[in-house]
């Protein structure tokens, strides 16, 4: 599965959800070392992302920028304090080992924060999407098809073993960015725990395509309940597009990763714990400064 949230929006499916993922990444959950710089460029980031899928006219572009500006102001006032509180709690927890249940609980808290933004932004996104012309919807469908073909070629060009090796390299890089240099034993632990993960690339691509088909169908013929409600449904419940067995594999992979993180936590040295705490405190400081802007 792709890990670039802004580029692929793997958790939420694509399109508007992808736009939202780009926004969420810019809101400080992407581990950016300079959250303020990203915050001040969100309008450009979102416009660039949307332009990769569909060309907006001047009025639509202005509407998009207004939506982003309003969302950012709301987010700064109401959500960043929640992020700061969570980061402070995580920093306090970094000094001791954590179990898999704690990792799972923290993961759920982050997902809840993301869902709050999805709920907030969906009505405005729906209003913008309602203005798309048939030609723009066709352009959007063609962009989806091109993007999916690119992904399919990428996956067909590598074996499951190659994808597993890439996944492990990415995980080790992330762990070392957060904890500092890992020992050979720690690297071996991460590698061993990730090796059995199920390769769900094909099922994810199929799910993504089903999500997009439903999204395009909603745009072409909004249901009686309204466009915003329909978009919120598919954004908050992308699991409805899972193929048989996919969700079970994803959940099993997730439990394995949570277990790996808990095991790794128990092996951390005092210096590695300090490194993680400094990282978290740095993120908290950056976001607290943004939240304090008048």
Q: Return the pLDDT at 23.
A: 39
Confidence of residue 160 (pLDDT cuts 50, 70, 90): confident
pTM beyond cutoff 0.85: no
Q: For residue 147, what are its two tokens?
A: 């993007």
d(CA 25, CA 39): 10
Q: What is the mean pLDDT of residues 20-34?
A: 41
> Could you tell me where the DSSP H helices lie in the chain?
5-8, 15-24, 35-39, 42-51, 58-78, 80-93, 100-129, 134-156, 160-179, 184-194, 201-220, 227-236, 246-267, 270-291
Residue appearing with tokens 């405005």: 124
pLDDT tens for each residue of 166-196? 889 988 998 998 899 999 999 999 999 999 9
Q: Return the pLDDT at 114.
A: 86
Q: Return the pLDDT at 19.
A: 40
d(CA 290, CA 26): 12
Report yes or no: 227 and 126 within 8 Å, Cβ to Cβ. yes
Q: Return the pLDDT at 40.
A: 67
First to last CA, the chain: 40
Phi-psi category of residue 159: left, alpha or beta, with phi > 0 → left and psi -120 to 50 → alpha: beta
Q: Return the pLDDT at 193.
A: 94
pLDDT tens for each residue of 42-83? 777 787 888 889 999 999 999 998 998 899 899 999 999 999
Confidence of residue 253 (pLDDT cuts 50, 70, 90): very high
Confidence of residue 217 (pLDDT cuts 50, 70, 90): very high
C-alpha dist (Å) from residue 57 to 13, 62, 128, 220, 232: 25, 9, 11, 19, 25
Q: CA geometry: angle at 255 spanning 251 and 261, to 5°? A: 145
């Amino acid at each position: 599965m792709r890990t670039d949230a802004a580029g692929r929006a793997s958790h939420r499916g694509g399109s508007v959800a992808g736009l939202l993922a780009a926004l969420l990444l810019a809101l400080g959950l992407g581990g950016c070392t300079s959250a303020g710089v990203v915050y001040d460029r969100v309008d450009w980031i979102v416009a660039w992302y949307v332009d990769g899928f569909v060309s907006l006219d001047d009025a639509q572009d202005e509407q998009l920028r207004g939506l982003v500006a309003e969302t950012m102001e709301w987010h700064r006032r109401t959500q960043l304090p929640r992020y700061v509180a969570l980061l402070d709690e995580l920093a306090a927890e970094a000094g001791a080992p954590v179990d898999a249940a704690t990792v799972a609980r923290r993961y759920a808290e982050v997902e809840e924060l993301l869902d709050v933004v999805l709920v907030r932004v969906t009505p405005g996104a729906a209003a913008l999407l309602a203005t798309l012309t048939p030609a723009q919807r066709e352009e959007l469908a063609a962009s989806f098809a091109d993007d999916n073909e690119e992904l399919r070629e990428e996956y067909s060009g590598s074996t499951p073993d190659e994808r597993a090796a890439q996944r492990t390299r990415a995980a080790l890089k992330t762990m070392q960015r957060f904890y500092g240099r890992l020992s050979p034993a720690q690297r071996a632990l991460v590698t061993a725990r990730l090796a059995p993960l199920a390769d769900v690339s094909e099922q994810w691509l199929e799910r993504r395509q089903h999500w997009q088909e439903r999204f395009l169908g909603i745009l072409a013929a909004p249901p009686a309940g309204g466009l915003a409600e329909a978009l919120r449904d598919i954004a908050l419940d992308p699991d409805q597009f899972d193929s048989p067995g996919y969700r079970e594999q994803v959940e099993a992979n997730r439990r394995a990763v949570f277990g790996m993180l808990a095991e790794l936590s128990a092996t951390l040295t005092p210096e590695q714990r300090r490194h993680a705490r400094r990282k978290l405190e740095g993120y908290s400081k950056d976001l607290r400064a943004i939240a304090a802007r008048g």
